Amino acid sequence: MQTGSAAPMPIPGHIDPVPVPRALPMRSDGRIDLLGLSKGDLRMALETAQLEPKQAKLRAKQLWHWMYNRGVTDFALMTDISKQLRPWLEQRFVISRPEVVTAQVSSDGTRKWLLRSDDGQDYEAVFIPDADRGTLCVSSQVGCTLNCRFCHTGTMRLVRNLTQAEIVGQVMLARDALGEWPSQPEGRMLTNIVMMGMGEPLYNFDNVRDALRIVMDGDGLALSKRRITLSTSGVVPMMARAGEEIGVNLAVSLHAVTKEIRDEIVPLNRKYGIEQLLQACADYPGANNARRITFEYVMLKDKNDSDADARELVRLIKQYKLPAKVNLIPFNPWPGAPYDTSTPERVKAFSNIVFEAGISAPVRTPRGRDIDAACGQLKTSAERKSRADLDRLAEEKQAALG
C-alpha cells in the first residue's frame, strides 16, 4: 500500500499547453524587431505588448503579409491596419533590414553586399543572375567554424552564428535591391537560394531551419523547398535532421575521394570520414533522381584532379547508389592560398570521365571573381595572414571540433 507522501496520479486526458512568451531581443531604442519571427512568435510579441489575443492573431496575419509578401517596413503604409493602431505599432516594434556597408556589382552582373549587424559584425551575401534563374548565396555564420584549406572564408575565426532575422534579412535585402515586391512566383529574378555563404549551416541548425521555414512559407516569400539548397562540409549527425525538418536540396562539399587528401583540404573529414558522409547522403530523406544530391568538387592542380580521382569518384557514387550530380568548381585563388587552379584541359578530362559514367558533371563558370564574390572568396576583412598564422588557426579549429 502506498504511503501518503506518494505523488498524486496524473489525470489522463488532453492538456492545453500554456504558451510561454519567448524572450524577444530588444533593440537599443527599446523596440522589438519583428523581422525573422515565426508566425507564433509574431502573435506572441503583440500579445506581450498587451494586444488582446483575438486582435493579436488578426494583426499578426496582416503584418506577416505586409512584411513578407509586400516587403513593407513602414507601419504607416499598412492600409488595412487602423490609423489608430499604426502609431502604437511604431512605438513598440520595427521591421529592419541589414545595414549595408558596401554594395558591389561585378562585370558579369553578380552583386555582393557587405552587411553589418547591430553588434558590429560583418557578413556577406551574393546574388548571381543567370539567363533562366537568379541565385542568392546566403551566409549562416560570421566567420566559419571550419578550416577547409582551399577556402578564404575558412581562414577566418568563427565570431558567432547569424540569427534567424539576419539570415532572413539577407533575402529581404536582395528582394529590395531587385525591386521584387509584391512577392509573386512568376517573373521574379530571385528564384533560388543556396546556403553556401560564410559558415557551416549545420553548425547553426536551429536558426537556419527556422529562417528557411519563413522563406518557404506560402503566405509570404513562398520560395519552394525545391529551389533551396543547403550545403554542408559533412556534419554527418545533422544531415538526417536537415532532410526531415527542413527538406531542402542537399549539396555536399566533397572535394576529394581519398582519406589522405580530404583530411588535408577538408579537415572535418578526420571527424566524419568519407564512408560515413556518403552513407548519410544515401540515407538523406527525399533524395531521388528528381532531387539529386550535389557534390561540390573544387579542382586543385595536382591535388585532386587526376583521372584516377575521377574514376574513384564514379566508383564511390555507384557503390552507395547515390542519385547525384557533381559540380566541378575551378579553384578561385586568394592571397596566401596553398593551392593552384587546375588547367582547363585537366578539368575537362575529369568532367568527361564522370559524364561517360552516366553522372552529370558540369563545370561551374566562376562568377564575381573581380569583386571577390566567387566560391570560397567570401571574407569580410582584407587582412593578410602568413602561412604560419593560417596553419596555427587551422590547428585551433580542428582541436575545437574534436
List active site positions. 124, 375
Q: Which residues pair with 32 in a beta bridge?
A: 26, 93
* Contact in structure between 33 and 63 (CB atoms under 8 Å): no
Show the DSSP H helices in 246-386 as ranges: 259-265, 274-282, 307-319, 344-356
* Contact in structure between 150 and 255 (CB atoms under 8 Å): yes
Reported in sequence order, the residue ranges of 139-271 that DSSP labels E, i.e. its strands, are 141-142, 160-161, 192-195, 228-232, 249-253
177 CB burial (10 A radius; 0-12, 13-18, 19+): middle
* Contact in structure between 334 and 369 (CB atoms under 8 Å): no
Residues 6+ apart with CB under 8 A from 281: 239, 250, 252, 287, 293, 320, 322, 324
Q: What gap in Å lies between CA 106 and CA 84, rounded to an integer?
A: 46
* Contact in structure between 378 and 198 (CB atoms under 8 Å): yes
Phi, psi dihedrals of residue 251, rounded to the nearest 5°: -120, 140
Q: What gap in Å lies between CA 350 and CA 331, rounded to an integer?
A: 14
Closest CA to 257 of 348, 350, 141, 171: 350
Integer CA distances (angstroms), 233 to 144, 148, 255, 296, 394, in order:
11, 9, 9, 9, 15
Q: Which of 263-278 are b and which e, b meaning 16 or more Cβ less than 10 Å from the residue's Cβ?
A: ebbbbbbeebbbeebb
Sign of the C-alpha dihedral, residues 66, 67, 73, 75? positive
Closest CA to 173 of 124, 217, 210, 208: 124
